[in-house]
């Protein structure tokens, strides 16, 4: 009889869990689909500054839903704001952009504010549940000085996520003060990471990565950290429907200077979220949508305590972040050096270069590795078997300025093996240093020598790939062009 009852109870538990998971997935889907209705339309690209969000905060000071207050000032004297919303007993502290060049969750935060302000749209029950059971404290853009320059570190040159112990930055002092004052039950430490992390040893980039931070070197698990794991397990289950195989987790090695580790040690259940890469989403607008959905779903689990239904051991089934992905991999290319021929792969990465007061960027690409890259992957790959890699030629005509270059028929030049064009003298671009052109060509300034020899390690990623003496592909500044199916987009050329 006891065994029979146990079987019934187990069946009821399994059914209840299954129903709960289905409801959670359905709610997440509705949030995902409805995001367009809440998306903050004034934030459309990553490189915004504090001045761009201050009006969005200011207008909420007159909204009774919020209490807006200054949390303190940055090193350069910028006011760091905190928005309080909700009246529940569970306190949740969420902060974004402690690294100034990591803005995805800041965008998502303002989307969430728009969500909380809406009504009569099918989400009233979720809003009420969250705001009745939790009190949310948002600090959007904790490092406004870094955001001003679109740089990771504070104006002092300190990584404030390694300043939890010494607290040499005013921004770190502010965050520690908030943790001490509020004593939050839960915290969300919201970051961006390189778009080249992989989810485990795989070709899939890690679009979202998590960490249930460790509070000691022994990687102990107390109830505080266990809840972090359970929350992450729940968010991972939801995200798999949108980015299957593209969720990862950081190694949980203890970092005694890290805020995540210390906040967990100080008694707050801390979830660290990193927004990574998604192919075709350079401005991270899709990842912003995932943040919106996943964080609101997590707040729902906190508000009704359903996170306790998750198995913490499933946390370890999430693959660790790896460094296995390049932006472009050219495989099996024939290389000629010193009269000899061999086969090699090229791993190419595109780095962002800021301009226009760090509100815009262009790409500058390098060959980061050369040789056998079979353990690595590319977000884009070309099998160059049967193709020979060569340095492109310099076109013999010299041009006055970039405007003249932009009028050239780039496809015709590339087919003839010309990847480089030269400027006679253009003082405007010289003053800018490294710069770019929308034409898919590599522009050399007056006096700038063209690279010599076969393209290799450390070179700018500009070269051609030929078959039977015919140019089949061109790589200009790390971007691949199929000359039989030529699509330029914005060109992404480079001026050196």
pLDDT digits (tens, 9 = 90+) for 127-177: 999 999 999 999 999 999 999 999 999 999 999 999 999 999 999 999 999
* Rounded-to-integer distance, Cα 194 and Cα 35, Å: 25
Q: How far out from the chain centre does Cα 255 lie? A: 22
Verify that 272 and 369 share a domain, yes or no: no
| pLDDT tens-place string over residues 3-20 | 666 566 555 545 545 555
- Give the pLDDT confidence of 183-206 residue by residue, as tens digits: 999 999 999 999 999 999 999 999
Rounded CA-CA distance 111/173 in Å is 28
CATH code of the domain containing 42: 3.40.630.10
* Residue 347 and residue 219 share a domain: no
Residues contacting 178, CB < 8 A, separation 6+: 71, 82, 93, 137, 139
Please, are residues 134 and 91 in contact by the beta-carbon 8 Å criterion? Answer: yes
| List of E strands, 246-314 | 247-249, 269-275
What domain count does the chain have? Answer: 2
Q: How far apart are the first and last CA of the chain?
A: 82
**What is the pLDDT averaged over residues 60-78?**
98
State the pLDDT at residue 446.
86
Query: Is 255 a residue whose pLDDT tops 90?
Result: yes
pLDDT digits (tens, 9 = 90+) for 377-431: 999 999 999 999 999 999 999 999 888 998 999 999 999 999 999 998 765 666 6
Residue 98 CB partners (closer than 8 Å, separation 6+): 142, 143, 160, 161, 171, 175, 189, 191, 259
* 415 shares its domain with 314: no
**Domain housing 37:** 2-322
Are 357 and 231 within one domain? no
pLDDT at 333 over 80: yes
Check whether 275 has a pLDDT greater than 80: yes
DSSP state letter for 469: T
Do residues 88 and 108 both lie within one domain?
yes
409 or 433: which leads in pLDDT = 409
Same domain, 175 and 246: yes
* DSSP H helical ranges for 326-466: 402-406, 410-415, 427-432
Q: Give dist(CA 320, CA 197) in Å, integer.
A: 10
Residues 255 and 174 reside in one and the same domain = yes
Residue 77 reports pLDDT greater than 70: yes
Among the candidates 303, 322, 341, a domain finishes at 322
At 328 the pLDDT is 97
> What are the distances in angstroms from CA 271 to CA 139, 197, 213, 221?
15, 19, 7, 14
Q: What distances in angstroms separate CA 367 from CA 376, 443, 456, 492, one per listed residue?
A: 14, 18, 7, 16
Question: Which region among 228-237, 280-289, 308-317, 480-489 has the lowest average model confidence (pLDDT)?
Answer: 480-489
Burial class (CB in 10 A: 0-12, 13-18, 19+), 387: buried
Among the candidates 322, 344, 367, a domain finishes at 322
Which of 322, 337, 367 marks a domain boundary?
A: 322
- For residue 183, the model assigns a pLDDT of 98
**Can you give the pTM of this predicted structure?**
0.92
Q: What is the DSSP string of 406-445?
A: HTS-HHHHHHTTEEEEEES--HHHHHH-SEEESSSSEEE-
The yes-or-no verdict on residue 281 having pLDDT over 90 is yes
DSSP-assigned beta bridge partners for residue 139:
95
The tokens describing 108, both together, are: 């998502």
Do 48 and 171 have their domain in common?
Answer: yes
Instruction: Give me the mean pLDDT over the 259-285 stretch.
Output: 97
d(CA 138, CA 154): 20
CA-to-CA dists, residue 420 to 178, 394, 427, angstroms:
55, 5, 19
Residue 361 and residue 458 in one domain:
yes
**What pLDDT is attached to residue 298?**
98
Which pLDDT belongs to residue 433?
81
24 pLDDT band, cuts 50/70/90, is confident
Average pLDDT score over residue span 308-331: 96
* Structure tokens given for 242: 């949108």
133 with 114, same domain? yes
Same domain membership, residue 333 and residue 308? no
How much is the mean pLDDT over the chain? 94
Cα angle, residue 285 at apex, residues 282 and 288 outer, rounded to 5°? 125
Structural contact between residues 166 and 248, judged by C-beta atoms closer than 8 angstroms? no
**45 CB-contact burial (10 Å; exposed 0-12 / middle 13-18 / buried 19+):** middle
- Residue 323 half-sphere exposure, CB side, CA atoms within 13 Å? 7
- What per-residue confidence (pLDDT) applies to 16? 47
291 and 335 in a common domain: no
Each residue's pLDDT tens digit, 448-469 = 888 888 888 999 999 999 999 9
């Amino acid at each position: 009889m006891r065994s029979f009852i146990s079987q019934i109870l187990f069946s009821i538990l399994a059914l209840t869990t299954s129903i709960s998971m289905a409801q959670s997935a359905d709610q997440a889907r509705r949030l995902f689909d409805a995001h367009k209705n809440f998306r903050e339309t004034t934030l459309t690209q990553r490189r915004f500054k504090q001045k761009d969000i201050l009006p969005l905060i200011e207008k909420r000071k007159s909204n009774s839903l919020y209490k807006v207050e200054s949390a303190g000032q940055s090193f350069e004297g910028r006011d760091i704001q905190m928005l309080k919303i909700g009246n529940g007993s569970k306190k949740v502290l969420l902060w974004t952009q402690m690294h100034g060049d990591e803005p995805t969750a800041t965008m998502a935060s303002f989307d969430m504010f728009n969500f909380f302000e809406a009504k009569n749209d099918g989400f009233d029950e979720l809003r009420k549940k969250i705001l009745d059971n939790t009190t949310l404290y948002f600090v959007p853009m904790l490092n406004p000085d870094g955001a001003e320059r679109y740089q990771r570190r504070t104006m002092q040159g300190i990584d404030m996520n390694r300043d939890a112990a010494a607290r040499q930055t005013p921004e770190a002092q502010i965050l520690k003060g908030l943790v001490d004052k509020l004593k939050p039950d839960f915290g969300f430490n919201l970051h961006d990471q390189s778009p080249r992390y992989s989810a485990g040893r795989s070709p899939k980039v890690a679009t979202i990565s998590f960490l249930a931070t460790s509070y000691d070197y022994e990687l102990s698990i107390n109830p505080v950290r266990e809840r972090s794991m359970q929350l992450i397990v729940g968010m991972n289950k939801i995200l798999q429907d949108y980015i299957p195989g593209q969720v990862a987790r950081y190694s949980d090695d203890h970092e005694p200077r890290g805020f995540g580790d210390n906040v967990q040690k100080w008694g707050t259940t801390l979830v660290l979220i990193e927004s990574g890469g998604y192919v075709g989403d350079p401005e991270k607008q899709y990842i912003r949508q995932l943040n919106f959905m996943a964080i609101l779903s997590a707040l729902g689990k906190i508000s009704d305590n359903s996170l306790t239904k998750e198995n913490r051991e499933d946390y370890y089934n999430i693959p660790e972040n790896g460094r296995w992905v390049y932006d472009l991999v050219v495989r099996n290319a024939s290389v000629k050096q010193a009269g000899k021929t061999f086969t090699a792969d090229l791993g190419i990465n595109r780095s962002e270069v800021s301009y226009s007061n760090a509100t815009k960027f262009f790409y500058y690409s390098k060959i980061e590795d050369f040789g056998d890259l079979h353990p690595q992957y590319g977000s884009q790959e070309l099998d160059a078997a049967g193709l020979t890699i060569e340095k492109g030629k310099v076109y013999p005509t010299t041009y006055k300025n970039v405007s003249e270059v932009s009028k050239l028929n780039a496809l015709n030049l590339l087919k003839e093996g010309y990847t480089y064009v030269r400027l006679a003298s253009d003082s405007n671009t010289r003053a800018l240093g490294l710069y770019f052109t929308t034409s898919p060509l590599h522009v050399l300034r007056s006096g700038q020598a063209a690279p010599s020899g076969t393209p290799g390690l450390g070179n700018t990623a500009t070269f051609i790939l030929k078959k039977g003496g015919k140019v089949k592909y061109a790589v200009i500044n790390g971007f691949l062009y199929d000359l039989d199916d030529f699509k330029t987009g914005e060109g992404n050329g480079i001026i050196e």
